């Protein structure tokens, strides 16, 4: 086989479609920045702090002990005025992980390519890669903060199954995963300019039962900005000041 033949064969092998890679319909247009309202985020936080609220995580005994220990450790790091030390909020902060990273009132972008959906998140910033090319979950994956996400299309809804989430990643504030968590999301457009994500979280160690919740998002055109502890343009979680520097 000549060099030219080898090059053509290599290109064809890369371009060949993988089973399940394509949809019967064109890839959807979910362009724009999707944001949930801060009011919804705040109300959700208040509900989840009440263990009797039906939407709060159904903690197991180990989950309750882990969250209590996490809150105690956090309080021990604060100064007499209740402020967290700078080192605890900037330099040593771990990356945002699943499913906690999806709950904040910050923007996200969904990028569609054949065989993959990529989600960019202002919080972190974190990148999620969701493979839709028909591959199964890895038999021996390396756990990460965002986990291994495999997606499939059910009509116009994207169903995402995320596993291999690193132990200690936050299920929600103060509640770490055991390393055995699984997160299933159903992402779909519900109306013009609106999206809903229905989520089921399982962790046989930290949760006594599957934890289910839904969130709604609104499409915006121009709210994306880099959010980082050393680039606090929003002045303490207020609307960002986009005035160009002098």
pLDDT digits (tens, 9 = 90+) for 167-178: 999 998 888 999
- What does the pLDDT read at residue 118? 95
**pTM higher than 0.95, yes or no?**
no
Rounded CA gap, 29 and 238, in Å?
30
Residues in the chain where the model's pLDDT stays below 50 = 1-22, 86-89, 91-92, 232-238, 240, 242
- What does the pLDDT read at residue 223? 63
- What does the pLDDT read at residue 17? 34
In degrees and rounded to multiples of 5, residue 32 shows phi and psi of: 105, 180
Q: Could you report the per-residue pLDDT of 203-228, keeping only the tens digit for each?
A: 999 999 999 999 999 998 766 666 65
**16, two tokens:** 């060949």
- What does the pLDDT read at residue 126? 85
The ranges assigned to domains in the chain are 19-220
Rounded CA gap, 34 and 32, in Å?
6
**Burial of 106 (C-beta count, 10 Å sphere; 0-12/13-18/19+):** buried
- What does the pLDDT read at residue 192? 85
């Amino acid at each position: 086989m000549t060099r030219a033949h080898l090059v053509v064969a290599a290109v064809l092998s890369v371009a060949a479609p993988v089973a399940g890679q394509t949809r019967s319909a064109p890839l959807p247009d979910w362009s724009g920045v999707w944001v949930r309202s801060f009011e919804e985020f705040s109300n959700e936080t208040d509900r989840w702090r009440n263990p009797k609220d039906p939407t709060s995580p159904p903690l197991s005994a180990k989950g309750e002990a882990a969250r209590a220990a996490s809150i105690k450790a956090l309080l021990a790091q604060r100064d007499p005025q209740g402020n967290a030390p700078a080192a605890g909020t900037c330099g040593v902060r771990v990356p945002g992980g699943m499913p906690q990273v999806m709950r904040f009132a910050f923007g996200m972008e969904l990028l569609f390519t054949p065989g993959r959906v990529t989600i960019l998140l202002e919080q972190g910033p974190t990148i999620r890669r969701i493979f839709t090319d028909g591959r199964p979950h890895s038999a021996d994956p390396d756990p990460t903060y965002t986990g291994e996400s495999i997606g499939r299309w059910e009509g116009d809804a994207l169903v995402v199954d995320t596993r291999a989430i690193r132990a200690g990643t936050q299920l929600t504030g103060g509640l770490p995963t055991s390393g055995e968590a699984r997160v299933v999301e159903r992402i779909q457009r519900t109306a013009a300019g609106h999206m809903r994500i229905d989520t089921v979280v399982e962790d046989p160690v930290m949760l006594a039962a599957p934890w289910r919740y839904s969130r709604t998002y609104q499409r915006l055109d121009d709210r994306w900005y880099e959010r980082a502890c050393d680039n606090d343009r929003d002045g303490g979680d207020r609307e960002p000041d986009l005035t160009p520097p002098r």
